[in-house]
Structure 1
Amino acid sequence: MVAMPRILDLREIEGTPVTIEERLSGEPLWQADGTSPRLTTIHIDSMIEALAALAEIPGDPPLRTLRMLPDEPPFDPNAPFETELAALVTRRAVRFATQLRVALPDVDVLLAQTVEALHRIAPATPTLIHGDLIAANVLTSRAHASAVLDFGFMTTAGDPAFDVAVTASIFDMYGPRAREVESELDRAFLSTFTGDHRRYWIYRAAYALTTACCYGTDLSEGHFAWCIGMLDRPDVRDSLQG
């Protein structure tokens, strides 16, 4: 069984809310260190176990009170995740249009294609989305996932395929074999979870447009550069064509 954080108390320290939570057992599956991991069955199976555990939690309306990003409103609990995500993508891309256009001149075309693609996706039954399921946020014990940590960034209720798609891409964001790791996880995830590869790429484009400017607004910042690279990939652009 994969454990999730349980809040025992809520306190305020110098004006900042702080949760007191149970300590969960296990060790991080993998810590990013500038290299690319050689994926083992433990890596793959643990991520699948974590994603499956999240997908078993119904996406009830109270989960939509969580803000995917601190400066954005929460999603409407009565609206499809896909259309709410399209609105978020639009707000972020418009807000940071100047910075995005410097790095990617045709970003306005990609924005329109991404929003159109999101509106074409058939709404999925919502479940809990972690949104930032890097390997360090999955604890393992005895070669199995024991816990999932660090909810908050991009957490909401929505299509579990969003978590699956993003997780495969962010497992190894900056290593020399990142694309190879992503492809290997894609194969494993697609054979386990329902969905299609094109849906993954649409969600990856949405993630990149939404989060590109969260930490910086030029190519000297790693996450921004990663997002621009994702949006400039032929596989992403082909999937947005419809």
Structure 2
Amino acid sequence: MPWDPTDATDLLRRAGLSPRDVLGSGIEGTVVDLGDGTVAKVWSGRGMADLIVLRQFYDAVERGRPATSAVALPHILDLREVDGTPVSIEQRLSGEPVWRADGTSPHLTTRHVDAMIEALAALAAIPGDPAFRTLPMLPGEPPFAPDAPFETELAALVTRRAERFARPLRVAIPDVDVLVAQTAEALHGLDPATPTLVHGDLIAANVMTGGEHASAVLDFGFMTTAGDPLFDVAVTASIFDMYGPRSREVERELDRAFLSVFPGDGRRCSIYRAAYALTTASCFGADDSDGHFAWCVRMLARPDVRDALRG
């Protein structure tokens, strides 16, 4: 269960810390400003063993991050356990989110597009490290093999997830077994990309801006690994505006902008979108009452996605 912000700040006081404003609260925990350039995150979804692995991941990211990069990334400074609850002390990352989803669709500006491109470029500039694959892309799944091609590991994940959640997927998508086979085959047919850091969940709220430029990227863990930077490009364009009335128009605008900067093609993007939809569909629910599940079903019904899978 997510932490109540008041309970989280009380716990931090019992730990001898000086909590100030609550900066955010979600499924994984509550983030509280400590007023000295750091924040405390009171975790609700992970144990201490998970956070030790996460800290090692962030340390590896920091080692690979170019010294010239202007985009800051999370860094865990200390880990504590307070009354059985894990707490991480992290450097505070400054800025305001590029955009927060509010049920409408944004009218994209140069600031929106440029900030997302800067964030994607900052991730793509960090060479893939085996330590990036110590994190499972999804809960309950094994991490990707350190030296295996991202594309074939993603194909295996697609197959496992489709088998695990076969019943709800078959109800929503009668020909899902065909789509799974086509997606796995398409992924195996892709030329392996040189791996870099993949965020996997680069929604607009996870990219902070200072003025006109990206200042930080937040919240790694969901679909994070070492892999093809075009996976982030494709997924980011689609999830920037997942539920707005002009979501497809926003995706097309971002595709044009992103693919003018990052090497790749529309077919590869569509294959990755199919893989993302099949692997994450049942992460939060397994029927149309869950918005993410319904979004994934719609993605898998799109003619451009199905055409890409057929080659």
Q: Which range, TM-score by smaller chain? A: over 0.9
In our comparison, the structure showing a higher alpha carbon Rg is 2
SS of equivalent to 2:116: helix
Question: Against the structure 1 CA distance between its residues 214 and 162, is the aligned structure 2 distance closer, same or farther, given a 3 Å change threshold?
Answer: same
Task: Find the counterpart in structure 2 of residue 231 from structure 1.
Answer: 300
> Could you state the TM-score of these two structures normalised by the residue count of structure 1?
0.98
1:56-100 Cα offsets, whole Å, 9 max, x none, are 011111111011012100000011010000000100001000110
Task: Select 1:119's aligned residue among 177, 180, 188.
Answer: 188
Task: Find the counterpart in structure 1 of residue 130 from structure 2.
Answer: 61
Aligned counterparts of 2:161 and 2:122: Cα–Cα separation in 1: 30
Aligned counterparts of 1:81 and 1:16: Cα–Cα separation in 2: 34
Q: How many percent of aligned residue pairs carry the same amino acid?
A: 79
Which letter does structure 1 place at the counterpart of 2:202? L
1:207 to 2:273 alignment: no
Which letter does structure 1 place at the counterpart of 2:88? T
Task: Select 2:254's aligned residue among 182, 185, 190.
Answer: 185
Task: Find the counterpart in structure 2 of residue 73 from structure 1.
Answer: 142
Deviation at 1:13, TM superposition (A): 4.3
SS of equivalent to 1:192: coil
Which letter does structure 2 place at the counterpart of 1:87? A
Task: Find the counterpart in structure 1 of residue 112 from structure 2.
Answer: 43
Task: Find the counterpart in structure 2 of residue 134 from structure 1.
Answer: 203
The alignment's C-alpha RMSD in Å is 0.9
1:89 to 2:167 alignment: no
1:81-127 Cα offsets, whole Å, 9 max, x none, are 10000000100001000110000000000000000000000000100
Which letter does structure 2 place at the counterpart of 1:225? A
Higher RCO (Cα < 8 Å, 6 or more apart): 1
Aligned counterparts of 1:80 and 1:101: Cα–Cα separation in 2: 29
Aligned counterparts of 2:303 and 2:163: Cα–Cα separation in 1: 23
Task: Find the counterpart in structure 2 of residue 173 from structure 1.
Answer: 242
Task: Select 1:198's aligned residue among 257, 267, 287.
Answer: 267
> Could you state the TM-score of these two structures normalised by the residue count of structure 2?
0.77
Question: Against the structure 1 CA distance between its residues 143 and 90, is the aligned structure 2 distance closer, same or farther, given a 3 Å change threshold?
Answer: same
Aligned counterparts of 2:213 and 2:276: Cα–Cα separation in 1: 28
Aligned counterparts of 2:87 and 2:175: Cα–Cα separation in 1: 42
Task: Find the counterpart in structure 1 of residue 3 from structure 2.
Answer: none
SS of equivalent to 1:32: coil
Aligned counterparts of 1:170 and 1:13: Cα–Cα separation in 2: 35
Task: Find the counterpart in structure 1 of residue 220 from structure 2.
Answer: 151
Question: Against the structure 1 CA distance between its residues 13 and 73, is the aligned structure 2 distance closer, same or farther, given a 3 Å change threshold?
Answer: farther
Deviation at 1:18, TM superposition (A): 3.4
1:138-174 Cα offsets, whole Å, 9 max, x none, are 0001110000001110001000000000000000000
1:163 to 2:232 alignment: yes
Task: Find the counterpart in structure 1 of residue 309 from structure 2.
Answer: 240
Deviation at 1:14, TM superposition (A): 5.1
Query: How many pairs were matched up?
Result: 242
Deviation at 1:12, TM superposition (A): 2.8
Question: Against the structure 1 CA distance between its residues 13 and 224, is the aligned structure 2 distance closer, same or farther, given a 3 Å change threshold?
Answer: farther
Aligned counterparts of 1:104 and 1:186: Cα–Cα separation in 2: 26
